[in-house]
Amino acid sequence: LLLIISVWKNMTIGKLCAHTEIVLKKQESQSTCFMDPKRAKDFSHRRQMVPDTAAPVKGRWKRYISSRDMTALLDFHNRVRSQVFPPAANMEYMVMWDERLAKLAESWASHCFWDHGPPQVMKYMGQNLSISSGRYRSVIELVRSWHDEKQSFSYPNRCNGAVCSHYTQMVWASTSRIGCAINRCSNMNVFGSMWKEAILLVCNYSIKGNWLGETPYKLGKPCSSCPSIYGGSCNKNQCSMPKPRKKLKRF
């Protein structure tokens, strides 16, 4: 696996980092970290595989994703997916908050590890991570940096800037389900630096995206190449299931 990390830093409001994966045919490991462009400096670290039996650290508090946050995350992802440029012919509507993915995210977030996991399920799902310190951030603030990476993406090429793989996971055409969790961690190791307080967001995706050698979507007129299951239905430039017709009541 090729592991790519990006980090943004603002001295007045704390730190914000993001973390995602790209899948290669051969297993590799590489990480990069970017700070303020005026003082950019690269960091690297080796990926450590966390044992399946790792137990959550006591005294660390978890805030479950609220219904309001679930809706906000789905709406934000679908807005980003509907606005890709150049347009996508097969972009599927992200229709479902997946409780199974969310529970996996909750379990992993409880460990307060700045890494992807659990390892045994990573081949089945995509995952984006975001972490912040300093002032409180809404869940959308935590994921907005993923969307901002579109400036480094030029279809159909790979990233033409530092990192864009959080964004490409967000707009992977066949990814239609998401589940996330938030955890507040104390004394968390991030890039070898100890963060006294941190808010960790874990978002899991299915179907998994970021396969090397593949584009995130097919170029073309919106909804012109949707999977047959959608029956030709299109909603806001995305392939979507047709809404059931309301039955007329006879009086």
112 within 8 A of 96, measured Cβ to Cβ: no
3-state secondary structure of 63: strand
3-state secondary structure string across 189-206: EECCEEEEEEEEEEEEEE
Q: pLDDT tens digits, residue range 61-79?
A: 455 689 999 999 999 999 9
Task: Say what the pLDDT of residue 11 is.
Answer: 27
For the stretch 184-219, pLDDT in tens is 999 999 989 999 999 999 999 999 999 989 999 999
What the block records as the tokens of 48 is 């450590």
Which element (helix H / strand E) includes 80? Answer: helix 67-82
Please tell me the distance from the alpha carbon of residue 34 to that of residue 80, in angstroms, as a whole number. Answer: 24
Sign of CA dihedral 183, 184, 186, 188: positive
Q: Per-residue pLDDT for 8 more than 80?
A: no
Nearest to 2 by CA among 32, 33, 40, 36: 32
Residue 125 has pLDDT above 90, yes or no: yes
The structure tokens listed for 145 are 């940096």
Give exposure, 207-232, as e/b (b: 16+ Cβ within 10 Å).
ebbbeeeeebbeeeebbebbeeebee
pLDDT in tens, 50-62: 233 334 444 444 5
Work out the pLDDT band at 25, boundaries 50, 70, 90: very low
What is the arithmetic mean of pLDDT over 40-54? 27
The Cα 202–Cα 87 span in angstroms is 28
**Closest Cα partner for 41 from 165, 162, 199?**
162
Going from the C-alpha of 195 to that of each of 41, 165, 190, the distances in angstroms are 19, 25, 7
Share of the chain above pLDDT 70, in %: 71
Please tell me which of 8-22, 123-137, 156-170, 172-186 the model is most confident about, judged by mean pLDDT: 172-186
pLDDT exceeds cutoff 90 at 26: no
Q: Give the integer Cα–Cα distance in Å for 212 and 218.
A: 15
Q: pLDDT at position 199, please?
A: 93
- Give residue limits of the domains in the chain: 2-35+61-239
- Could you identify the residue written with the tokens 């170029």? 219
Q: Tokens 């490991």 appear where?
A: 29
2-35+61-239 maps to which CATH number?
3.40.33.10
The whole-angstrom separation of Cα 101 and Cα 204 is 6
